[in-house]
Amino acid sequence: MTALQLLLAAGGLVGAGLALVLFQLVPSHPDLGQTLARLSPAGAREAQNAAKAVAQPKVKGDDDIRDVLGAWGARHLPARLWGKVAPADLAVLGMTPARFCGEKIMYAFIGLIAGPVLSAAVLFSFSFPLYVPVAATVALVVALWFIPTYNVVTDAHEARVDFARSLGAFVDLVALEMASGSGPRQAMEAAAAVGDSWVFRRMREELARTRWSGITPWDALRQLGDEINMPDLHELADIMRLSGEDGGRVYPQLKARAASMRSAILSAQKTRANEVSERMTLPMTLLGMIFLVILITPQILRMVGS
């Protein structure tokens, strides 16, 4: 390579470097629609959740592989394959759709690996046609594929019960703060700062977001109720809106609402206890019959033998 070619190559590299630097320094013109979407309450919530996910320390054994598998599956697999799961169930559990899809893929992969292993162990002792282990593997994969859906539905139901129980305590605390002369926002923020459960943390996050998102606390509660399918939050939002916008005293309404929530929770627990008791009737009856058979059998055998 001649000296002239070296100079031309060096000049080209320097020019490319300067162009990249200028490209980074010159301000760009953002898209107005994307900017407004990021500044909206929903966009702010997504940005905060993404920041939390990035800020979490990565430790050995973390479950981020589920997000990767879920993102891949959402791109390459048909949407109807995932089944119907309510977005509110995923929201109340704090689970993204990608993580849910990743769990389904992981469970199916476990079944795909465990099926041949178990079949090989069984075939080592018994002889079966080839289609038997293949069919068993397919059945295991299908069964494990639906386990995450069942887990989400049951866990979401338990989470809503826990949320309703904690929300009753939250309403009591808000009523006490309102009785002491605090405003609606101050009363809710002070009440949310008392507890350390995931429900109180969720309430603190929603109330803190209202300070810079441009929405009122009661509107944030209503949006949260729509997101996780909690009608009790709608009623609390209506009561707090009455105090915040009309200046009404809502202490009696808050106390009455807290009492009704406790009564509803107690009634649900009694109903569940009665259902469990009814389900235990048949096993206890069978156990009593088996015990009677054990007692009577020797006498019957002695009578037959004589």
- pLDDT range class, residue 39, cuts 50, 70, 90: low
Collapsed DSSP state (helix, strand, coil) of residue 95: coil
Q: What is the pLDDT of residue 6?
A: 56
Predicted local confidence at residue 57, as pLDDT: 36
Q: pLDDT at position 23, please? A: 62
Q: How far is CA 122 from each of CA 127, 138, 144, 247, 264, rounded to the nearest angstrom?
A: 8, 16, 20, 74, 52
Distances (CA, A) of 234 to 104, 127, 199, 209, 228: 33, 62, 16, 18, 11
pLDDT at 45: 56
Average of per-residue pLDDT values in the chain? 78
Q: Among candidates 252, 88, 94, 91, which has minimal Cα distance to 171?
A: 252
Query: Which pLDDT score is estimated for 10?
Result: 61
| 250 burial via Cβ count (<10 Å: 0-12, 13-18, 19+) | buried
Over range 34-53, report the average pLDDT.
Answer: 56
Residue 99 reports pLDDT greater than 80: yes
pLDDT of residue 141: 86
**Between 39 and 178, residue with greater pLDDT:** 178
For residue 275, CA distances in Å to 22, 35, 150, 157 come to 71, 52, 20, 17
Amino acid at 165: R
The predicted pLDDT at position 30 comes to 62
User: Is the distance from CB of 116 to CB of 133 less than 8 angstroms?
Assistant: yes
| Of residues 39 and 86, more confidently modeled | 86
Per-residue model confidence as pLDDT tens digits over 174-229: 888 888 888 888 888 888 888 888 889 888 888 888 888 778 888 888 888 888 88
Predicted pLDDT at 137: 84
